[in-house]
Amino acid sequence: MVYVVDMKEGYNIIKRITLIKKERKGILYIILFTIILAIIRPFIGPYWSFIVAYGLIISIVGLGFNLLLGYNGLLSFGHAGMFGIGMYTLGLCTKYFNISSLEILILLSIIIGLIIIIGLGYVASKLIIVYFALFMLSFGQIIFALTYKLYGITGGSDGLSIPILTILNINFNSRIDFLYCYYYFVLLIFTICTIFMWILVNSPFGKTLQAIKVDDIRATYIGVPVRKYRYIAFIISTLYAVISGALYGPLNGFIYPELISHVFSGEIVYLTLLGGMNYFAGPIVGSFIYTILKVYIPTITEYWQFIMGATLIIMILLFPGGIVGWIYSKFKKR
Amino acid sequence: MSVGLLIAIFFNTLLFFSILISITIGLSLIFGVLGILNLAHGAFYTLGAYVAISLFSYFTNVPPIIYYILFFIASVIVGIIGMWIEPTLLRRVYKLPDEYQLLLTFSLSLIILDTIRYFWGVMPYYHYEFFAMLGNSEIAGTIYPNYYFVAIATVILLLILLYLLLFKTKIGLLIRAASMDKEMAISLGINVKALYPLVFALGIFLCAMGGALTTPYSAITLGIGSEMTTIAFAITAMGGLGSLKGAILGSLIVGFVRALGVFYFPEIELVVVYIVMFIILSIKPYGLCGRYERRV
């Protein structure tokens, strides 16, 4: 049977994304967090500005990833591929079309990302968890292989360097000046993404997604169009990864295929579990801890993957709630 | 194109297909009985190759038959490691949701790969002695190494042995019963849990054999498992998880498609495989021979 996505029903589902009234407090916390980060910027040097901006960018992909894993029970090993699509769209547009306006580049990445996601999601939303994981894993590997092997276009393992871009038509003389302004740009996008995600998971739409996670067969029986919900959740989740990838390029100034190998997909999974996958703040806390770990662990040992794997096993077997879950349980007992 | 070249292409495809099938059969066997998808399969494949090459460099100047036995010894060693991992780690997550099992095997693969890096380093390893020892033969004017026939024959031998094990012995009957309907098997008094380490070790053994067989003709690096298992995962998804028929059918399709892909689009042959997977999964979401099973 050919399954046609009914536009009207899809629209009705999207209409259900409205914040449940008693959850309004959460937005205040998010804005407070943003204001704190905005105030501390002049007091921390360029090094820590870079690290905080990196943490914010990784939080965006973590939030998107958690919409699938924590709120819908689908594990994706392909978010690095999505990240790569955003990253390379931006990189290739600066190289071949000489666009230097950041806003236009990000919009372009989102549009190209959406075209790919809508096609991919049509198949991916049909699949159950194990098949979905396999499907996304091979998708991520394909994007990696393409960026690696199409040497003539992407520069292969030599990578692509990204020039200093302009934000709102302001030119920057040095990378440091650009970084200081870019920090606020990333913070703005992070805030928009986080507030939208908060509204999403605390809306009737988000609650239905969680119902699907608990039992998809029962959800089907009570009349939930499971596949359409998954389709929309997939589109939003992977779009976050694309946005995050597009933001990463200008920050680092240099992109190369190893950034988006399956190890990075694993790292996204890692930070989500570290923070706590059943909690909204989990991926945000996780990505900041992960960023700091990634800065300091290479100075101690070169076996970062081993440590990642070992802590993952410990988290799975002993602390499935992650750091946020652990703090939460301590808080509750008192 | 000469006849000899066509025959060479045919045997190359057959070689690729036999390495692939040793990986996918192991994956399907493990999924069928244990109900988990082993994402660490690529790591065990790499481990098999590294153990084999260490044994080869330890035993030098021995007759070919000893070399041949070393393949089996290397794979058995890796299989025993698998037999030890199943009760210690995997057994703890059977009752958790599917995503935890995937995460556990994924972290296992990270640990194994970094352990290999610790013991063997990052330099590529070569071992051509066995390959050179067997010499070449000439088919219709094209020189073709004898080793390839040995590798293909080994996989065929293993498949026959596996068939005999599964369909002609008591333990094979139990394994098939457990993979067909686990609850029914348990209620009939079969100790299914006792089969788990054995089946896991068998799957790992087959996969390590695939890795070991590649050592005489290619350089061994840490990344060898990555591309092979990506294709193997695509095949298992295509053929339907847990179905041996699906694994063989999927390997056949991919072997054929890849041969065509290498011929027409050499840059992006992986993408061609992926497009086939995309089409099959959009028509049959549970693969060609898969059946829909609810987690109990």
Judged by CB atoms closer than 8 Å, whether chains meet at A305 and B113 is answered as yes
The HSE-up count of residue A20 (CA atoms within 13 Å, CB side) is: 12
Minimum-distance CB partner of A306 among B96, B110, B281: B110
DSSP annotation of B139 reads E
Q: Please write the tens of the pLDDT for every residue from B45-64.
A: 999 999 998 988 888 777 88
Show the domain range for B25: 18-221
Residue scoring higher pLDDT (A236 or B236): A236
Q: Which residues of B touch A303 (CB under 8 A)?
A: 114, 117-118
Percent of chain A whose predicted confidence (pLDDT) is above 90: 28
Q: Residue A334's pLDDT is what?
A: 58
C-beta separation of B48 from B211 below 8 A: yes
Averaged pLDDT of chain A: 86
CB pairs under 8 A between A and B: 124
B37 vs A134: CA distance, rounded Å: 9
SS3 annotation, chain A: CCCCCCHHHHHHHHHCCCCCHHHCHHHHHHHHHHHHHHHHHHHCCHHHHHHHHHHHHHHHHHHHHHHHHHHHCCCCCCHHHHHHHHHHHHHHHHHHHCCCEHHHHHHHHHHHHHHHHHHHHHHHCCCCHHHHHHHHHHHHHHHHHHHHHCHHHHCHHHCEECCCCEECCECCCCHHHHHHHHHHHHHHHHHHHHHHHHHHHCCHHHHHHHHHHHCHHHHHHCCCCHHHHHHHHHHHHHHHHHHHHHHHHHHHCEECHHHHCHHHHHHHHHHHHHHCCCCCCHHHHHHHHHHHHHHHHHHHCCCHHHHHHHHHHHHHHHCCCHHHHHHHHHHHHC
Judged by CB atoms closer than 8 Å, whether chains meet at B99 and A129 is answered as yes
Judged by CB atoms closer than 8 Å, whether chains meet at B230 and A137 is answered as yes
Judged by CB atoms closer than 8 Å, whether chains meet at B106 and A77 is answered as yes
Residue scoring higher pLDDT (A80 or A152): A80
- Label residue B273 by pLDDT band (50, 70, 90): confident
pTM, to two decimals = 0.86
Domain map (residue ranges) of chain A = 12-261
Q: Which residues of A touch B267 (CB under 8 A)?
A: 149-150
Which of A65, A134, A260, A316 is best to mutate for the B interface (most B CBs within 10 A)? A134
Q: Residue A195's pLDDT is what?
A: 92
Contact map slice: A 70-89 vs B, CB within 8 A: 73-75, 77
Judged by CB atoms closer than 8 Å, whether chains meet at A309 and B268 is answered as no
Among A187-191, B18-22, B148-152, the range of highest mean pLDDT: A187-191
Q: Which residues of A touch B96 (CB under 8 A)?
A: 316, 320
CA distance B277 to chain A (A): 8
Amino acid at A100: S
Decide if A126 touches B, using CB distance below 8 A: yes
> Is the predicted pLDDT of residue B292 greater than 70, yes or no?
no
CA distance B140 to chain A (A): 34
> Is the predicted pLDDT of residue A2 greater than 60, yes or no?
no
Q: Which residues of B touch A139 (CB under 8 A)?
A: 274
Residue scoring higher pLDDT (B273 or B46): B46
Copy the structure tokens of residue A23: 């959850």
Please state the rounded mean pLDDT for residues B268-278.
78
Decide if A142 touches B, using CB distance below 8 A: yes
Q: Which residues of A touch B294 (CB under 8 A)?
A: 217
Contact map slice: A 240-279 vs B, CB within 8 A: 262, 266, 269, 273
Task: For domain A12-261, give the fold.
Answer: ABC transporter involved in vitamin B12 uptake, BtuC (1.10.3470)
Amino acid at B239: G
> Is the predicted pLDDT of residue A129 greater than 50, yes or no?
yes
Q: Please write the tens of the pLDDT for every residue from A14-67.
A: 777 777 777 788 888 889 999 998 898 888 888 899 999 999 999 999 999 999
Minimum-distance CB partner of B233 among A123, A134, A217: A134
Amino acid at A5: V
Judged by CB atoms closer than 8 Å, whether chains meet at B108 and A313 is answered as yes
Copy the structure tokens of residue B154: 């080994």
B11 vs A235: CA distance, rounded Å: 43
DSSP annotation of B145 reads E
What is the SS3 assignment for B143? strand
Judged by CB atoms closer than 8 Å, whether chains meet at A131 and B241 is answered as yes
> Is the predicted pLDDT of residue B139 greater than 80, yes or no?
no
> Is the predicted pLDDT of residue B296 greater than 70, yes or no?
no
Q: Please write the tens of the pLDDT for every residue from B22-39.
A: 999 888 888 888 888 888
Minimum-distance CB partner of B230 among A73, A122, A138: A138
Tokens 């008693």 locate to A22
Please state the rounded mean pLDDT for residues A133-154.
85
- Label residue B294 by pLDDT band (50, 70, 90): very low
Decide if A137 touches B, using CB distance below 8 A: yes
Minimum-distance CB partner of A309 among B31, B111, B227: B111
> Is the predicted pLDDT of residue B1 greater than 70, yes or no?
no
> Is the predicted pLDDT of residue B76 greater than 90, yes or no?
yes
Q: Catalogue the long-range contacts made by A124-128 (C-beta closer than 8 Å, 24 or more residues apart).
A: A124/A234, A125/A227, A125/A228, A125/A230, A125/A231, A125/A234, A126/A3, A126/A227, A126/B281, A126/B282, A126/B285, A127/B281, A127/B285, A128/B285, A128/B286, A128/B292
Copy the structure tokens of residue A87: 């990253």
- Nearest chain A residue (CA) to B105: A313
Using CA of residue A259, residue A299, residue B40, residue B296, what is the dihedral sign?
Answer: negative
Q: Which residues of B touch A317 (CB under 8 A)?
A: 92-93
Residue scoring higher pLDDT (B73 or A330): B73
Which of B27, B88, B107 is best to mutate for the A interface (most A CBs within 10 A)? B107
C-beta separation of B252 from B294 below 8 A: no
- Label residue B293 by pLDDT band (50, 70, 90): low
Q: Residue A86's pLDDT is what?
A: 92
Q: Please write the tens of the pLDDT for every residue from A241-255.
A: 999 999 998 888 888
Minimum-distance CB partner of A135 among B99, B109, B281: B281
Q: Residue A21's pLDDT is what?
A: 72
Residue scoring higher pLDDT (A16 or A196): A196
DSSP annotation of B144 reads E
Q: Residue A288's pLDDT is what?
A: 92
Decide if A139 touches B, using CB distance below 8 A: yes
Contact map slice: A 87-116 vs B, CB within 8 A: none
Judged by CB atoms closer than 8 Å, whether chains meet at A150 and B267 is answered as yes
Q: Which residues of B touch A146 (CB under 8 A)?
A: 268, 271
Helices (H) and strands (E) in chain B, counts: 12, 2
**A279 φ, ψ to 5°?**
-120, 145
Which residue from B288, B261, B269 is spatially nearest to B227, judged by alpha carbons? B269
In a domain, residue B126? The reply is yes
Q: Please write the tens of the pLDDT for every residue from A211-226.
A: 988 888 888 888 888 8
- Nearest chain B residue (CA) to A143: B271
Q: Please write the tens of the pLDDT for every residue from B93-114.
A: 888 887 788 889 889 998 999 9
Number of domains in chain B: 1
> Is the predicted pLDDT of residue A10 greater than 80, yes or no?
no
Which residue from A34, A60, A45 is spatially nearest to A179, judged by alpha carbons? A45
Where does residue B293 fall: left (phi above 0), alpha (psi -120 to 50 degrees), or beta otherwise?
beta
Q: Which residues of A touch B104 (CB under 8 A)?
A: 312-313, 316
Minimum-distance CB partner of A69 among B37, B99, B294: B99
**At a CB cut-off of 8 Å and minimum separation 6, what does A34 contact?**
A187, A190, A191
Q: Catalogue the long-range contacts made by A12-18 (C-beta closer than 8 Å, 24 or more residues apart).
A: A13/A205, A13/A225, A13/A228, A13/A229, A13/A232, A14/A205, A14/A232, A16/A203, A16/A204, A16/A205, A16/A208, A17/A199, A17/A200, A17/A203, A17/A205, A17/A206, A18/A199, A18/A203, A18/A204
Q: Strands B136-139 and B142-145, how do they pair?
A: antiparallel
Judged by CB atoms closer than 8 Å, whether chains meet at A131 and B108 is answered as no
- Nearest chain A residue (CA) to B282: A123
DSSP annotation of B289 reads S
- Label residue B295 by pLDDT band (50, 70, 90): very low
Q: Please write the tens of the pLDDT for every residue from A82-121.
A: 999 999 999 999 888 888 888 899 999 999 999 999 988 9
Percent of chain B whose predicted confidence (pLDDT) is above 70: 97
> Is the predicted pLDDT of residue A11 greater than 80, yes or no?
no
Judged by CB atoms closer than 8 Å, whether chains meet at B103 and A137 is answered as no
Percent of chain A whose predicted confidence (pLDDT) is above 70: 97
Q: Residue B13's pLDDT is what?
A: 83
Amino acid at A322: G
